[in-house]
Chains A and B, each alone.
Chain A
Amino acid sequence: MSEKRYDYLIIGNSTAAIAAVEAIREVDRAGTLAVVSDQPEHCYCSPLITYCLAGKIPEEQLDYRPGDFYEKAHVDTILGAAATEVKPAAHEVVLADGRVLGYGKLLLAIGGVPFVPPIPGCDLSGVFTFTRHEDMRRVQEFIDGNVVRQAVVIGAGMIGVKVAEAFAHLGIETTVVELQDRVLPLALDQVGSQMAQHVMEEHGIRVLTTAGATSIGGGSGKVQSVTLDTGSRLPAQIVVVAVGVRPNTALAEHAGISVNRGILVDDHMRTSDPDIYAAGDCTEGFDPLLGETRPIAIWPGAYMQGEVAGRNMAGQDDGYVGSIPMNSIQVCGLPTISVGLTTPPEGAEVLQYKSPDGKRYRKFFILDNKIVGALFVGEIDRAGIITGLIRDGKDVSSFKQSLIERDLGLLALPKHYRKHMVSGPGIEV
């Protein structure tokens, strides 16, 4: 028997979970609602932990919503308690401490788990992944308690680059090792990556591309070096492994819910069990550009999925159109935004512009008269106008040239489209 039954039970406490809370409460103020998370913290902004590690923001600033958020939304919080089992038939969730909670509707917003490649030495003290608040705390404590002069970050994706930036900011001699031929390979093209790498190097970060870590060496249980496939050995007193994050599916799999690479959901964010929903990085999201589902671990998508899940859990009928992959990453002061496809599909027209001083770069892929991918480096003002055109599948053939040539503005768009966008009473834009 469950100790308490909630109308809505949410496992997870990050953006998808919070969006669901906000959506449920817009529809239903009275239903009982609880948030369960294995993490003890108030909902926090996980992408900001590298900023906090670098000392650029105080820890209090990590809060994603104000301290009285749950109270105001009438949410019971069960934090620091891992959910270990979901029992769909009984409509129950079992926690690690033995407590059992009943639910009417359940949301799995359990995020992703960092992938650690089978490199010998990953179990040494001083080797970390970096996705959670506790990772930040453990890294901080390790740096405070040990002599850390050199760091190696394995992986130059978003997390790797931001961790390297934080280490360099702390005065640690930092090397980033990336298997692909460029930094931020999923977000940027060759030219954009070179601009990013250049600014990283200006900030004292050493970047090694087309380089794989084959082993991590240590002594007395502590990390001392990283050996690369080239045979060279990089001394390091701290190592962060940041080669990717995978959907957290264990709980769903165990419960017999359909899982592929991520938890499978329909456009209402419902899983194969009609009373269990899933949202965020634990799911496979629909990518409208590719017309297929795949794990798309992006923050805006997680929020929108959580919102849709929450509305449907509360009895509304709301469909989700899907997530276009997109990333906004500021690399050592250099702003970059990429939206949609990052490599040109076959037959795509490529439009690009690079400023004479080489500091601003933008590039669009156009397929069947529609923009399917866009990249901005150095200058990102009003990039969202392009995101809107991608999202709407707008035919840009009549004005594509002005998009690449001039400063972005709604003025670059045809009048009828401006009207369509800014629709409402009295609109004549």
Chain B
Amino acid sequence: MKRIYAKEDYCIGCRLCEIYCIFQHSGCDTLVKAFSQKDCLPDPAVRVEEDGAISFALQCRHCDDAPCVAACISGAMTRDPETGAIKHDPDKCIGCWSCVMVCPFGAIQINLEKGKVSSKCDLCGGDVMPACVAHCPNEALVYE
């Protein structure tokens, strides 16, 4: 399956990937509208890690041998049998954090107050160019 890969040497830490991930999953039709309703904005599923000159963007790797699917006690984390992508169902999630315990990439964002995984990369559905890749100004993210 196609996956998103990050190129550390090209990433300039602009965090546009985070912005466009939020926008993509906000359900709004314009960026301005999305960010004007700050209360219900989703968390970004991609996260830029940055330390001085080093930065890169990381999201769920959609592992072949996904430990989060094995660990999920609520049936919320599953592999799509068609695409192979790892999907998360927030309605089923009960916030046990077993996925957080086993994800070796630290790619799962959580919200302790809501008691749920707050976002996990869904590859923007899989059949289009993911928003983070499409809007990366320096081609530090590729989808291949």
Contacts and interface: CB of A to CB of B under 8 A. Distances in A.
Interface in B111-128: 112, 115
Interface string A316-354: 000000000011101001010101000000000000000
Given A300-B102, A339-B101, A409-B49, A429 B73 contact: no
A387 interface: yes
A30 B105 CA distance: 36
Nearest to A339: B101
A204 to B, nearest CB: 19
Contacts of A15: 73
B110 A381 contact: yes
A89 interface: no
Contacts of A421: 104-105
B104 A45 contact: no
Nearest to A409: B49
A424 B4 CA distance: 10
Interface stretch (B14-22, B23-31, B92-100): B92-100
B106 A409 contact: yes
Interface in A377-418: 380-385, 387-388, 391, 408-411, 415, 418
Contacts of B102: 300, 326, 384, 387
B58 A384 contact: no
A57 B115 CA distance: 13
Contacts of B71: 299-300, 303, 328
A65 interface: yes
A335 B50 CA distance: 26
A299 B73 contact: yes
B7 A426 contact: yes
Nearest to B54: A411
Q: How large is the interface on A (under 10, 10 to 19, 20 to 34, 35 or more residues)?
A: 35 or more
Given A47-B73, A300-B67, A422-B61, A384 B101 contact: yes
The 9 A-B pairs with the shortest beta carbon distances in the complex, nearest first, are: A388-B104, A382-B106, A303-B70, A384-B103, A300-B71, A428-B7, A411-B49, A64-B75, A328-B101
A422 B97 contact: no
A6 interface: no
Interface in B66-83: 67, 69-71, 73-75, 78
Most buried by A among B70, B101, B104: B101
B12 interface: no
Nearest to B55: A411
Query: What is the interface residue range for chain B against chain A?
Result: 35 or more
A19 interface: yes
Contacts of A339: 101
B9 A428 contact: yes
A101 B135 CA distance: 58
Contacts, number: 134
B98 A408 contact: no
Contact of B104 (A328, A330, A384): A384
A410 B106 contact: yes
B74 A48 contact: yes
Given A384-B101, A384-B102, A47 B96 contact: yes
A409 B105 CA distance: 8
A427 B94 contact: no
Given A303-B71, A380-B100, A383-B101, 4 more contacts: A47-B96, A48-B74, A299-B98, A428-B10
B144 A387 contact: no
A335 B112 contact: yes
15 contacts: A61-B74, A65-B78, A300-B71, A303-B69, A335-B97, A337-B100, A380-B110, A382-B100, A383-B101, A410-B106, A411-B54, A411-B56, A428-B5, A429-B5, A429-B6
A300 B71 CA distance: 4
A404 to B, nearest CB: 16
Given A19-B70, A422-B6, A429-B56, A65 B104 contact: no
Contact of B73 (A48, A337, A387): A48
A252 interface: no
A385 B104 contact: yes
Contacts of B58: 410, 422, 429
Contacts of B39: none
B70 A307 contact: yes
B3 interface: yes
A57 B3 CA distance: 34
